[in-house]
């Protein structure tokens, strides 16, 4: 038996009068205490998770969590950013203006 911290999942509130945290449930479940504003969550690409959250009543927010880059990928991204850092950002010219 371990002397370290343990996690005990409680199905009924009466099972643990000390106030244990309930078992996790899917975000769409009305009992989802940890993410009540999450409306959808999916893997857009391997390792990339997109989450749609309800914001301010009728509006929605879209968040993306990407996997961390390796040190080599970080250096390559820095080189790309340096290469294009001198580019002036302006609107493209169109017939309308």
Give the predicted TM-score (pTM) of the model. Answer: 0.42
pLDDT for the residue numbered 5? 55
**pLDDT at residue 22 above 70?**
no
Interval 5-25 mean pLDDT: 58
As to burial, measured by CB atoms within 10 angstroms (0-12 exposed, 13-18 middle, 19+ buried), residue 41 is middle
Report pLDDT digits (tens) over 30-85: 666 666 778 888 888 888 888 888 888 778 889 898 888 899 999 999 999 999 88
How far, in Å, CA of 24 to CA of 32, rounded? 7
Q: State the DSSP H helix or E strand holding residue 76, giving kind and residue range, or none if neither.
A: helix 71-84
How far, in Å, CA of 14 to CA of 33, rounded? 18
Residues near 22 by Cβ (< 8 Å), separated by ≥ 6? 9, 10, 13, 31, 33
Domain edges within the chain:
24-84
CA distances from 94 to 87, 88, 89 (A): 20, 17, 15
pLDDT for the residue numbered 16? 52
pLDDT for the residue numbered 45? 86
């Amino acid at each position: 038996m371990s002397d370290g911290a343990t996690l005990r999942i409680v199905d009924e509130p009466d099972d643990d009068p000390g106030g244990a945290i309930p078992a996790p449930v899917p975000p769409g479940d009305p009992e989802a205490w940890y993410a009540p504003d999450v409306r959808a969550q999916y893997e857009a690409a391997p390792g990339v998770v997109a989450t749609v959250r309800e914001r301010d009543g009728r509006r929605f927010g879209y968040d993306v969590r990407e996997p961390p880059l390796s040190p080599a990928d970080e250096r390559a991204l820095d080189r790309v950013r340096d290469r294009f850092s001198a580019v002036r950002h302006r609107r493209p010219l169109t017939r309308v203006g």
